Structures are given as C-alpha cells and as structure tokens.
Amino acid sequence: MTYLIGLTGSIGMGKSTTAKIFAEEGCAVWDADAAVHRLYSAGGAAVAPMQDAFPDAVIDGTVSRDALKAAIAADPTALRQIEQIVHPLVAEDRQAFIAKSDADIVVLDIPLLFEGSGHRMVNTTVVVSVPEDVQRDRVLARGTMTEDQFMMIKSKQMPDAEKRALADHVVITDTLDHARDQVRAIVAKIRKELADA
Ligand SMILES: CC(C)(COP(=O)(O)OP(=O)(O)OC[C@H]1O[C@@H](n2cnc3c(N)ncnc32)[C@H](O)[C@@H]1O)[C@@H](O)C(=O)NCCC(=O)NCCS
Ligand SMILES: Nc1ncnc2c1ncn2[C@@H]1O[C@H](COP(=O)(O)OP(=O)(O)OP(=O)(O)O)[C@@H](O)[C@H]1O
C-alpha cells in the first residue's frame, strides 16, 4: 500500500522547501505547481485549451504566466476559468504519478488541498506555516509578484488559521533545521504505523 500525505499551506509558507525535506527522507514527491508548469510548456496539454479561452496568453506555443496574471487583474473571474481548464489535467498527472510510484510514502504538494477535494484522497494532511509578516516578506523577496498579485492570490486561499485547524500535522517553517526535525518525526511515526500494520 502507498501511504499518501497531502502537503499544503498558503502561498510562500514553505511547501516546496518542506517537500524537498520529505524527499530527503525517502518519500516520493509530486508537486502540483510543477505539474502546471509542464502543462503550460511547449507541447503541454493545457496549451491548446488555453489558446481557445485566452488567445493572448499563448506566446510561442507556451502559456505565459504574466499574460494570465494580467488577464486575472483585468477580470477576476478569469482565474476560475483557468482553474476549470487546468485542474482536471493536474488530477490526471497526479493519478499517473501515484500509479507508477513504488515508494512507501508519496507526498502530494497541493496548494489547494483543502479548497478542493484533495484532502479526501490522502491518508494524512500536513500544513506548513509561518506568521503572516514572514510569509509576505518571503513572497515579495522572490520578486515574481507585486504586492497586489500576492494579496489577490492570498484572498483566493483558505486562511492559514483554518488550514492549521483542519491539519493532522502542522510544520512550522521558521528555520530549515526546525522544519527537518518536524518532518523526520512525522515520517518516523508513519513508518512505525506501516511496520506495525
Ligand atoms: C495565477 C498564476 C498564473 C500565477 O503564476 P506564478 O508563476 O506567478 O505563480 P505560481 O504558479 O508559482 O503560484 C504561486 C502560488 O500561488 C498560489 N496559487 C496558484 N494558483 C492558485 C489558485 N488558482 N488559487 C489559489 N492560489 C493559487 C499557490 O500557493 C502557488 O503555490 C498561476 O499560479 C496559475 O496559472 N494558476 C492557475 C492554476 C492553479 O490553480 N494552480 C494551483 C495548483 S493546481
Ligand atoms: N524551513 C524554512 N526555513 C527558512 N526559510 C524557509 C523555510 N521554508 C521555506 N523557506 C523560504 O520561504 C520562501 C518560500 O518557500 P517555498 O518556495 O518553499 O514556499 P511555497 O509554499 O512552496 O511557495 P508557493 O506557494 O509560492 O509555491 C523561500 O524563500 C524559502 O527559502
């Protein structure tokens, strides 16, 4: 049996960094944002439907994230339309990954785990979290989003406190060493449960 961990957290809270720590502990990791990057790249399955819905957003055969962000800024309902195209394709990619994985634990890094139905398909949930001011500083330090874009994405997500209340485990991502200790404890507990089963 493959044990499934759903890993989530609000924008910039440390999902990707924490997913890497799970990988170092021998878990297989599937990353929803990385799947979207594949779908948007040349030959990706989202390119043709996106071309139909947002002709200006496809440039040189790839989906332009800047163009999508401009479309969302001009019309907030555009994000819903984008999600309707992208999410079924992401779900297919995820199922294919799980089916071919032979790891004992598969970590699914899904930004919208609790907003969608993803939490129902996993054995346990992990939410990454830091205080809001740290989150904001980290996202803006990346230089890929304006403050307005950050606030818009954040407003579409379930608040951090609600996610933490729903989570089976919370990982505080204040330092790498602290995050690693928490991940190791979660993995050890799951492996013990699997061994005892
Ligand atoms: C809005 C877009 C163009 C922004 O692209 P950009 O490269 O600037 O940011 P990136 O993709 O790295 O996303 C950063 C973070 O924003 C959050 N986020 C992304 N999409 C969404 C969404 N639909 N709802 C809420 N939060 C979202 C996630 O926390 C994500 O990790 C892009 O995220 C997108 O096309 N989103 C739609 C697809 C989607 O829903 N992806 C979420 C995972 S399936
Ligand atoms: N445990 C940690 N200790 C210190 N810094 C961290 C830690 N985890 C993440 N960070 C930093 O926070 C920033 C955001 O982390 P990361 O990219 O992992 O977040 P994310 O949740 O995947 O973001 P997004 O929602 O935008 O995809 C990065 O600059 C990263 O280096």
Query: In testing the pocket of ligand 1, which one of 153, 160, 163 has its CB within 8 Å of the most ligand atoms?
Result: 153
Residues whose CB is less than 8 angstroms from the CB of residue 156 and which lie 6 or more positions away in sequence, other chains included: 79, 115
Which atom of ligand 1 approaches the CA of 65 most closely?
3
Q: Do β-strands 28-31 and 105-109 pair in parallel, antiparallel, or remain unpaired?
A: parallel
What ligand has the least distance to the C-alpha of 9? 2
- Confidence band of 76 (pLDDT split at 50, 70, 90): confident
Query: Is 16 one of the annotated binding-site residues?
Result: yes
Phi, psi of 164 (to 5 degrees): -65, -35
* Residue 30 Cα to ligand 2 middle (Å): 17
Say what the pLDDT of residue 165 is. Answer: 98
* Residue 87 Cα to ligand 2 middle (Å): 23
> Quick check: CB of 149 below 6 Å from ligand 2?
no
Mean pLDDT of 109-132: 96
Contact 171, 127 (CB under 8 A): yes
Angle at 80 between CA 75 and CA 86, to 5 degrees: 125
Give the model confidence (pLDDT) of 1-42 as tens digits: 799 999 999 999 999 999 999 999 999 999 999 999 999 999
Say what the pLDDT of residue 46 is. Answer: 98
Query: In testing the pocket of ligand 1, which one of 8, 15, 36, 69 has its CB within 8 Å of the most ligand atoms?
Result: 36
Q: What is the pTM of this model?
A: 0.93
Query: Is 6 one of the annotated binding-site residues?
Result: no
What ligand has the least distance to the C-alpha of 145? 1
Residue 190's CB: how many other CB atoms inside 10 A?
Answer: 18
Contact 98, 2 (CB under 8 A): yes
Say what the pLDDT of residue 106 is. Answer: 98
Strand runs labelled E in 45-183 = 58-59, 62-63, 105-109, 124-129, 169-172
Give the model confidence (pLDDT) of 129-183 as tens digits: 999 999 999 999 999 999 999 999 999 999 999 999 999 999 999 999 999 999 9
Say what the pLDDT of residue 147 is. Answer: 95
Domains and CATH numbers, the chain: 1-27+105-197 (3.40.50.300), 31-102 (3.40.50.300)
Query: Is 12 one of the annotated binding-site residues?
Result: yes
Query: Is 17 one of the annotated binding-site residues?
Result: yes
Query: Is 9 one of the annotated binding-site residues?
Result: no
At 3 the three-state DSSP class reads: strand
What ligand has the least distance to the C-alpha of 13? 2
ipTM for the complex shown: 0.92
Angle at 164 between CA 140 and CA 91, to 5 degrees: 75
